[in-house]
Amino acid sequence: EVCGLPWKACAVKKERNGSFHLGVFLYHRQSDSDIWSIDVSGSISLLNTDGEQKKNFTVNTTFNREVPNWGCPDLCEWENLTDEAKVINTGC
C-alpha cells in the first residue's frame, strides 16, 4: 500500500540488448472508474550487488487517463496494470 491508501506499487524490469529499464507504476486493485489522472513525484535508487555503485532517478510527472498510455509512451495498458498476476508474470 502507498500512504495508507488502497494503492499498490509495481516495479517492472524490462531487459533490452544487455540493458534494462525500470518502470514503476501505482494502481488501485479494486476499481479504476474514478481515477482520471495521477500526479507522481518521487525518487528511485538502484544499488549493484556489492552496494558500491548507486544510481538515483527522479520521477515527477502526471499520468492522464484521457490520453493514450496515460501520456507515457512506455506505459502499459490500464487493464494490464490492474491484472496483478499479468504484471508480475509478464512485466506487462
The residue-averaged pLDDT of 53-82 equals 58
The residue-averaged pLDDT of 9-15 equals 59
**Cell 484521457 belongs to residue:** 66
In this predicted structure, the answer to whether residue 40 has a pLDDT above a threshold of 50 is: yes
Residues 14-17: contacts with CB under 8 Å, at least 24 apart? 14/91
pLDDT value for 67: 63
In this predicted structure, the answer to whether residue 22 has a pLDDT above a threshold of 60 is: no
Percent with pLDDT over 70 in the chain: 0
